[in-house]
Structure 1
């Protein structure tokens, strides 16, 4: 009997057994092509991070450039605003000093008129009325111009009203020949100096401090620090792009960085130039106008004390001492100004005053009064008016120079602020374009 056919071997009929799983943490074994098992990689290939980093870099450069422009515009704009405030405070300072001058002019005129006796000369009455009218007008103007001074100026207005009422009482008694009129006059003058003028002194100090603080402001400093940091960021960006793409220069980022650098240089030149101009103005015209105004105030005080000395009839040593102190202060301020014509006119007036003192001390009171109240050449009024007129003209010219000198740098700063802002926008546009070119290489 023939042998039966044998079945296929089990090893051949069975399908290939899948390879055993690889131990944890090790990659699967790769089966050669043609076998039924397919190898699966442990991890898929990671996508490139470069496009994301380019987008982040683009945002950083654009934001940095725009921030540069905004900070520059704000910094220079604030500096221009500070100079504008300095100009306003300077104008207020001059206004307050004018109030002082007119008050002392009114007092000097009133005391001088008392020496005549009876009805005062119409010209002197007009001078007094004009001075008080100017005081009232300037108080209103000063309150409107500087709200911070309004409350103090209201207190000053009260003192001025008290002074004018006392002067009217003194005049009424003087017209009737009552000796008490002179006492009312002395009390009015004393009240002016103890109550009204100290208020004005405080206002002068406050506005001088404000003007000086605004002229010393350095608002662009923060912009300059930030600008340097932003420029450093642009340099680092160019270095990264050069290494990553094997290209030495990225034109867009380079042009953007150069634009920022030029804007920073322009801003620095503008700030430096305007700062030098303002410093020169502060040490020059601003100092001169305040010194000249102080000299005029002291001169008015001296003229009042000259008349009060004569009104006291031999017992006015305190008033003469006050005249000497005011005269010394006038000479000191004029010495600092260095204007020979002003010094000469004050010397002329001082010489007339010395003549008045010689006549009075020598017993010739009537002669002293004639020199003190006359209006012709060689009299006290003529010499004083010549000095006061010359000094008033100098203050007007120097004050205008100061205000114009503060306006000029302010305009330059505004122009510089606009240029820096535009520079920031241009730099942002170029930087964005430069990075976008590299980004398109991945699209």
Structure 2
């Protein structure tokens, strides 16, 4: 086999092992000699001022373009990350939240519909169907993002498999109740147990996974680009050192080209610093006052919905409803504490203080207290054996009834959640605008700086010709 400068031969014993010919060794020696000659020329050139200046210019231009490239990629990455929060990650998290809330609302409404008189049944039936439809639509949207996360995909599968079973049980309960068969209550209890044991835990896990992914991307968006900052500061130091070197060599205070380059780099550094500070503050504000506050409000609303389901299921079960009565008492304390103004509601009131959701949370606390008082009257009627009065107080839309207080509570919490989401959108949009045109600007400034270096050092080189 022939090679440049020589050929491959086999050894004398015929084993086929290749040996290098003298021509091959000469070719390798020639390459080494060329490298040595280039190094000697570089050393000689560096010993003279023109050669040294050329090397300095080449190094500065290379460093400038490298800093420009790294900074541009970093700025574009930050902008893409924050735009991704707005356009994809937060909407997916909101869909997961809607799945969780809609399923909880469906459970609460299904029980109320079974208790209601004919005049109220249709309205509650429509609300139940709307909640199931909302859960299905939101699940479809959330599932697309969940496919790349096995744990999330698993929860989507659980909900998708079990939700038809749940709705089938509810329909069976409704059909039996219309015919006056008491077994309808048993089917509804079975449906509620399926919702509590399988469907809602899966919806909660899906929501928490999506919330964690959102928080992680928000942290990434706020991260400080340390490497880029060090590169930029190193470039500034190199430019200043070069100007000092030229001043000693030429006795000239300023080099216009290097001044332009330094100003361009400093403008880029200042622009980037201000933009990233504003960006980080706004992303942090959107996380603190937007997504985190909305997340706490979602948890509060879910507890309220589950408490409502227990309240109505305790009446559906009639003499066998102690478990649901205890469940309502436990969830009610979790929601409002011992006095109705503590618990989760007290926490979200502190978090919402001074914000757009503060008034809504305060109204929700009042609704919770009214709801608790109505439940006390429901238990009194139930303990006295006046089942009809207890159901009427739990289901009717009277101002003093439990249904009115609960729905007012739910509406206020839903509006507060919407306020939290809007706060996130507003803050994150401001963060995105802070980075507007920054990648393009940094690219242009790096080219200006590189040209300034080339012209500035080139002028000094011409003086040696």
Per the normalisation by structure 2, the TM-score is 0.80
* CA displacement at 1:151 relative to structure 2: 5.2
SS of residue matched to 1:314: helix
In structure 2, the partner of 1:437 is: 459
> Per-residue deviation at 1:119?
10
- Are 2:178 and 1:156 equivalent residues in the alignment? no
Match of 1:241 in 2: 246
SS in structure 1 opposite 2:319? Answer: coil
CA shift for structure 1 position 117: 7.4
**How far 1:89 moved relative to its partner?**
2.4
Aligned mates of 1:77, 1:325 — CA distance in 2: 50
Q: 1:40 is matched with which residue?
A: none
SS at match of 2:436: helix
Q: How far apart, CA to CA, are the structure 2 residues paired with 1:186 and 1:120?
A: 21
Deviation, structure 1 residue 191: 0.8
Shift of residue 172, structure 1, vs aligned partner: 2.0
Q: How does 1:371-382 map to 2 (within 5 A)?
A: 371-382=393-404
Q: What residue ranges of structure 2 are gaps of 5+ in the alignment?
A: 1-43, 337-342, 350-360
Partner of 1:191: 194
Q: 1:117, 1:177 within 8 Å by CA — same for their partners in 2?
A: no
Cα deviation code 1:385-434 (max 9, x no counterpart): 22222222222232122123212202212333332222212111111110
Is 1:135 aligned with 2:146? no
2-structure distance, mates of 1:330, 1:84: 35
> Quick check: 1:407 aligned with 2:435?
no
Give the aligned partner of residue 417 of structure 1.
439
Picking from 204, 209, 216, the partner of 2:207 is: 204
Write the mapping of 1:239-278 to structure 2, written as runs, cut at 5 A. Answer: 239-278=244-283
**Displacement of 1:246 after TM fit?**
3.4
1:65-84 Cα shifts (integer Å, max 9, x gaps)? 22222222221222222223
Q: What is the CA-CA distance between 1:181 and the residue it aligns to?
A: 1.7
Q: Which entry has the higher C-alpha Rg, 1 or 2?
A: 1
Distance 2:329 2:297 in 1: 18
Q: Distance in 1 between matches of 2:212 and 2:219?
A: 10
Contact 1:113 1:124 in 2 (8 A): yes
Cα 1:224/1:101, change in 2 over 3 Å: same
Mean CA deviation greater in 192-201 or 49-58? 49-58
Q: 1:339-378 CA deviation, whole Å, 9 max, x = no partner?
A: 3112112222222122112221232222111111212222
Cα deviation, residue 307, structure 1: 0.9
CA contact (8 A) 2:155 2:205 kept: no
Q: 1:281 aligns with which of 260, 283, 286?
A: 286
* Structure 1 unmatched runs, 5+: 1-45
The correspondence for 2:218, drawn from 193, 205, 215, is 215
CA distance in 1, matches of 2:224, 2:320: 58
Q: Which residue of the partner structure matches residue 359 of structure 1?
A: 381
CA drift of 1:272 comes to 1.3
| CA-CA distance at 1:141 after TM superposition | 1.8
Which structure is richer in relative contact order (CA contacts within 8 A, separation 6 or more)?
Answer: 1
1:54 maps to which residue? 53
| Greater displacement, 193-202 / 376-385 | 376-385
Range moving further from structure 2, 149-158 or 223-232: 149-158
CA distance in 2, matches of 1:116, 1:132: 19
Residue 19 of structure 1 corresponds to none
Three-state SS of the structure 1 residue aligned to 2:253 is coil
> 1:177: Cα distance to partner?
2.3
Is 1:383 paired with 2:405? yes
Task: Report the structure, 1 or 2, having the larger helix content.
Answer: 2
Residues paired across the two proteins, number: 398
CA RMSD of aligned residues (A): 2.2
**Could you say what secondary structure the match of 1:91 adopts?**
helix
Aligned position for 1:335: 346
